[in-house]
Copies of this chain bind each other. A is one copy, B any other.
Amino acid sequence: MTTGGATRTVVRLSDGRELIYFDDEPGRDRAEPDRRGLAPVARPPSQLRHDPLTDEWVVIAAHRQGRTHLPAAADCPLCPSRDGHLTEIPADYDVAVFENRFPALGLPEQGRCEVVCFTADHDASFSTLTPRRVGTVLAAWTDRTAALGRSPAVASVFVFENRGEEIGVTLGHPHGQIYAYPFVPPSLATMTRVARRRGRCLHCEAVAAETAAGTRLVASTDSWAAFVPYAARWPFEVSIHPRRHVPDLPALDERERAEFPELYLDVLRRFDRVLGVRMPYIAAWEQAPVRAGRRWAHLRLRVFSNRRARDKLKYLAGSESAMGVYINDIEPERAAALLRAAA
């Protein structure tokens, strides 16, 4: 099957989990089996607990305490399998997506967690992928958003990448994750509530205003705008929006798909140049919930770093963690100017 230019092949790992290859080009043989003979994981189920004080859900995932933690490169579970080192992925690959063996959301009625490997090259990073490969990753994200959203248990599909040990990444191989939540996350619920109350899309307004002003703009194409938000919460934060009022990844059109890779690579390279050090970052796709309030949502990719200087990190301390009030030490216009200069 071909999805947005990528070729998709579904196989099963030896313990029954799904593995999906997305190839840059058609014609690759994906018959290589998982030779590990894994028993299905007897997972202590995750628990979803409702906090009555905030009307929010918390995931209790006690079994994850034992998950793989910063293995040496030779033991990487995300590299392609080779003689003497069998991994989660039986063969060489372009992009591979599989169900997490240590999922935060572990049962069908609780949603699902997937791992997205961007490249077989352990030492690469997203910013060193080719535009062609970013197109394949985008096709994988799109396919998974649509597929997971078809499950009646799923209310919201969250596609993201955590990069860097400074933000808690436990595997160095370039990869992202997908959480299919069985509820609408608080930040999406808040944005939907605010937009509904205002009766208009505030993202559309922000895109138009930032494009006109230009002071916080970092990069743009005909169909995308990337800017530091006026009220940025993080020292380096870029919000990448399709200009069109698009709810989620499956709704992107061909031009938007074609223009995204170069734009995103440009933003990520600026992140790595702006302080002259490899930046930790979180890249988080905000997508419309699967069913409720879709018309009020506007797709965006938020990329933000907790590094505020070469030798200093931003911590979420009392004001942020307990009160939800962010204190940002870098003026957004200055962050934008620094990112624009980091060409």
Contact = CB atoms under 8 A, between A and B. Distances in A.
Interface in A187-217: 187-188, 190-191, 194-195, 198, 202-203, 205-206
A191 B324 CA distance: 12
Interface string A307-342: 011001111111101111111111110100000000
A234 B181 CA distance: 19
A167 B232 CA distance: 21
B185 A104 contact: no
A49 interface: yes
A49 B54 CA distance: 24
Interface in A122-174: 158, 160-162, 167-169
Interface residues of A, number: 75
A54 to B, nearest CB: 5
Q: What are the 3 tightest A-B residue pairs by CB atom distance, in nearest-first order?
A: A168-B315, A284-B322, A186-B324
A286 B326 CA distance: 16
Chief secondary structure at chain A's binding surface: mixed
Contacts of A62: 329-331, 334
A58 interface: yes
A104 B315 CA distance: 14
A187 B190 CA distance: 12
A265 interface: no
B315 A167 contact: yes
A37 interface: no
Contact of A325 (B47, B59, B203): B59
Contact of A308 (B65, B308, B319, B331): B65
A28 B60 CA distance: 51
Contacts of A317: 162, 167-169, 282
Nearest to A300: B53
A330 to B, nearest CB: 6
A64 interface: yes
A202 B52 contact: yes
Nearest to A61: B327
Given A179-B319, A323-B188, A231 B58 contact: yes
A325 B206 contact: no
B168 A313 contact: yes
A233 interface: yes
Given A49-B231, A233-B58, A186 B323 contact: yes
A158 B324 CA distance: 12
